[in-house]
Structure 1
Amino acid sequence: MGYGVKRWKNVTNIHIQKAVDKWKEEGLQAATIKEYLSGVRTVCRIYENDRIKPDNTQFGIPNRVFVDNRDKSIPQDVFQKAVTELKQSNNSDDKRVAAQLQLERYIGLRVEEACKFNAHQAVMTGGRVFIQHGTKGGRERIINELTENGKAAIEYAKALSGINNLIPNDHSEKQWIQKYYRITRAKGISKKECGASSHGCRHAYAQDRYEEITGFKAPCKFESKKAFRKNAIIIGGEKWKKLNQDARQIIKAELGHGPDRDDVVSQYLGAI
Structure 2
Amino acid sequence: MAAILNVRAVVKKYRFAPEFRDALLALLDTHVTQIHSTTRISHKALSVKTQERRASALCKSFRELRNHGYTLQTPWSLKHKHVEFLVTYWVADGQSGGTIENKLTYLRAIAQWMGKPKLVRTLADYVDRREHGLVRSYVATEDKSWEAHGIDAAAKIEEIARTCPYTAVQLKLQAAFGVRVEESFMLRPVEAVRNPQMLAVVRGTKGGLPREVPIESKMAILEEAARLSNGVTGSTVPADRTLKQWRDWYYYVLEKHGVTKAGLGITSHGLRHAYLQSLYERTAGTPAPIKRAGERPDPQLHQQAMRRVVQAAGHSRVTKANAYLSTFARQERLQKKLPTVEEVREALMSADGNKSHAAAALGISRQALYRILGGGSRRD
Q: TM-score range, shorter-chain basis?
A: 0.5 to 0.7
> Which of 167, 187, 195 pairs up with 1:97?
167
Q: Residue 363 of structure 2 aligns with which residue? A: none
CA distance in 1, matches of 2:196, 2:154: 29
Q: Residue 157 of structure 1 aligns with which residue? A: 225
**Kept after mapping to 2: 8 A contact 1:141/1:254:** yes
TM-score by length of 2: 0.50
CA distance in 2, matches of 1:201, 1:68: 15
Letter matched to residue 166 of structure 1: T
- Larger Rg, first or second structure (1 or 2): 2
**Kept after mapping to 1: 8 A contact 2:187/2:235:** yes
**Kept after mapping to 2: 8 A contact 1:78/1:188:** no
Any residues of structure 2 matched to 1:223-238 within 5 Å, and which? 228=294, 231-232=295-296, 236=297
Any residues of structure 2 matched to 1:102-251 within 5 Å, and which? 102-143=172-213, 145-148=214-217, 150-161=218-229, 164-222=234-292, 228=294, 231-232=295-296, 236=297, 240-251=298-309
Structure 2: runs of 5+ lacking an equivalent = 1-26, 31-37, 39-53, 62-97, 104-120, 125-134, 329-380
- Shift of residue 191, structure 1, vs aligned partner: 1.5
Cα 1:124–1:31 shift into 2, 3 Å:
farther
Letter matched to residue 308 of structure 2: I
CA distance in 1, matches of 2:136, 2:259: 30
Greater mean deviation of Cα atoms: 191-200 or 131-140: 191-200
Greater relative CO, 1 or 2 (CA 8 Å, sep 6+): 1
Structure 1: runs of 5+ lacking an equivalent = 5-12, 14-22, 34-58
CA distance in 2, matches of 1:253, 1:126: 19
CA distance in 2, matches of 1:252, 1:117: 20
Encode CA deviations 1:141-174: one digit per residue, 9 max, x unaligned. 111x2232x3222121112116510111111000
Cα 1:131–1:30 shift into 2, 3 Å:
farther
Q: Residue 80 of structure 1 aligns with which residue? A: 154
The two structures, once aligned, show a CA RMSD in angstroms of 3.3
Which structure features the higher share of helix residues? 1
TM-score by length of 1: 0.68
**Kept after mapping to 2: 8 A contact 1:78/1:194:** no
CA distance in 1, matches of 2:238, 2:230: 12
Cα 1:241–1:69 shift into 2, 3 Å:
farther
Greater mean deviation of Cα atoms: 64-73 or 161-170: 64-73
SS class of match (1:206): helix
Aligned sequence identity (%):
29
- Shift of residue 112, structure 1, vs aligned partner: 0.6
- Shift of residue 193, structure 1, vs aligned partner: 2.3
CA distance in 2, matches of 1:168, 1:130: 21
> Which of 323, 328, 343 pairs up with 1:267?
323
- Shift of residue 182, structure 1, vs aligned partner: 0.8
CA distance in 2, matches of 1:261, 1:216: 18
CA distance in 1, matches of 2:171, 2:282: 21
CA distance in 1, matches of 2:123, 2:216: 37
**Kept after mapping to 1: 8 A contact 2:178/2:276:** yes
How many correspondences in the alignment? 213
CA distance in 2, matches of 1:175, 1:127: 33
